[in-house]
Amino acid sequence: MSEDDKQEAANDEKNDETGASSEKFDLSDEGKEKVREMRAAYDDDRQTAVLPGTGGTITGVAINEWLDDDGNPKFGKDEQKEKDEKAQHQEKEKQEQTAD
């Protein structure tokens, strides 16, 4: 067995263990579009941002996608509003009970 044959056999054995394959596959247009989207996640030219209220401890490119143009969080506003209203209602009830 030549050295090249030994190397090929070792590679085949390694591929069998890892599930990897040396076969080349043609991607569909849909697959190619998905690859382009995935590559965009690793674009180093995108601007990073700091999540408000974290004192600079939470930063990154993904954070920039969570913020609107004014730097305010896009998500969670409704949930926070509901929590605030519930807390105000509970506080009002507590004050009414202590006033009686």
Q: Is residue 3 part of a domain?
A: no
Q: What is the pLDDT of residue 17?
A: 55
CA 41 – CA 3 distance, rounded (Å)? 41
Residue range 21-68, pLDDT digits in tens: 667 778 889 988 988 888 876 766 767 777 778 887 877 766 667 778
In a domain, 16, yes or no: no
Q: Positive or negative, the Cα torsion across 30, 33, 35, 37? A: negative
CB 40 within 8 A of CB 48: no
Is 89 a domain residue? yes
Q: What is the mean pLDDT of residues 58-86?
A: 77
pTM of the shown model? 0.28
Tell me if 43 is assigned to some domain.
yes
For position 25, what pLDDT does the model report? 77
Number of domains in the chain: 1
Q: Which domain holds residue 36?
A: 25-99
Whether the pLDDT of residue 74 is over 70: the answer is: yes
Dist. CA 91–CA 39, nearest whole Å: 50
Under DSSP, is residue 76 helix (H, G, I), strand (E, B) or coil? coil
Percentage of the chain lying above the pLDDT 70 cut:
68
Angle, CA 75 vertex, CA 74 and CA 78 arms, to 5°: 115
